[in-house]
Amino acid sequence: MTAAGRGRSSVRLVACVLLAIGLQASHASQRFAAEGEIELAFSPRDDAEKVLIGLVQDARKSLLVHAYAFTSRSIADAMVAAHHRGVKVEVLADAQMNRREKGNAIGRLLAAGVPVAFETAYSAAHNKVLIVDAEGPDCAVLTGSYNFTWSARNRNAENILIVREHCPLARAYRDNWRRHRADATPIRALPWKP
**Run of H or E including 187:** strand 185-187
User: Is 128 known to be catalytic?
Assistant: yes
Active site residue: 128, 138, 175, 193, which one?
128
Active site residue: 46, 77, 88, 126, which one?
126
User: Is 133 known to be catalytic?
Assistant: yes
Active site residue: 66, 83, 133, 180, which one?
133
How many other C-beta atoms are found inside a 10 Å radius of the C-beta of residue 193? 8
User: Is 126 known to be catalytic?
Assistant: yes
Q: What are the DSSP calls for 68-113, one per residue?
A: SSB--HHHHHHHHHHHHTT-EEEEEEEHHHHS--TT--HHHHHHTT
Q: Which residues are catalytic?
A: 126, 128, 133
